[in-house]
Copies of this chain bind each other. A is one copy, B any other.
Amino acid sequence: MTTIATITMSLDGFVTGPDDRPGQGLGVGGERLHYWVFGGPWTYDGEHDFGGISGEDKAYYDGRTERIGSGIVGRGMYDAAGAWGGQNPFPGTLVVLTHRTEDPHDPSFTFVDDLGEALQIARQAAGDKAVRIAGGADVIRQALAAGEVDELCLSIAPMLLGAGKSLFDGAPELDLEPLEVHQSRWATHVRYAVTR
C-alpha cells in the first residue's frame, strides 16, 4: 500500500501566500501556485475551470490520479477550499483530519481526529490503489515525521512568494530519490521516493 503526499509549493517553499482563507484559498498572490492546474492565469473572483490543464501538467496530473484510490486532507485545506462546495472532488473516499469531527459535513467526507486512524480508513478504502495525502502543509509534515509517506510528489511553481505557509519549516531531515519530472511554463513536477 503506497502512500503519496502531493502538494504545490513556490520555489521558496510556500504552499500559500499570506492570509489564506475561504474565498482566497491560496492566500494573497497564491493563485500563481495553481496556474498549472488551470492552464494559466486565473483569479479568485473570475471564472476558472479545470478543463484548461494541458501538456506536461496534464501528463503529470493524469499519471498521478489514475494511481489514487483514496485521500486525506487537513481541516485547514478543507475550509480554505470552501469544502469544494460540499462535494468530494477527488477519487474515492476523502478523509478530513480535524479536531472538530462533530461539525456538520456532507457524508461524502469522513471526519476523523487522528492521523493513524485517517491512514487506516484511507488505506482500507484505497483497495489496490494508493492513498493520497493532499495537504495542507501541516498534515504532510506530520505524515513525513511519522514515516508514513512513501512518495512526495511536488509541483514547484516558478516564483518566490516570500511569505505564507512554509511546507518544510519543522519538517524532519529526509533523503529522497527523484523518480520522474515533468516541466511546463507553470510548474516543475517532481516525483520523489522517500528513502529515509
Contact = CB atoms under 8 A, between A and B. Distances in A.
A181 interface: yes
Interface in A15-48: 29, 32
A162 B167 CA distance: 12
A102 interface: no
Interface string A157-173: 01111100001100111
Contacts of A160: 168, 171-174, 176
Interface residues of A, number: 31
A76 interface: no
B181 A177 contact: no
26 contacts: A11-B154, A12-B13, A12-B167, A29-B173, A156-B190, A158-B176, A158-B192, A159-B173, A159-B174, A159-B175, A159-B176, A160-B168, A160-B171, A160-B172, A160-B173, A160-B176, A162-B171, A162-B173, A177-B185, A178-B183, A178-B184, A178-B187, A180-B183, A181-B181, A181-B183, A183-B190
Interface in A101-156: 154, 156
Nearest to A161: B173
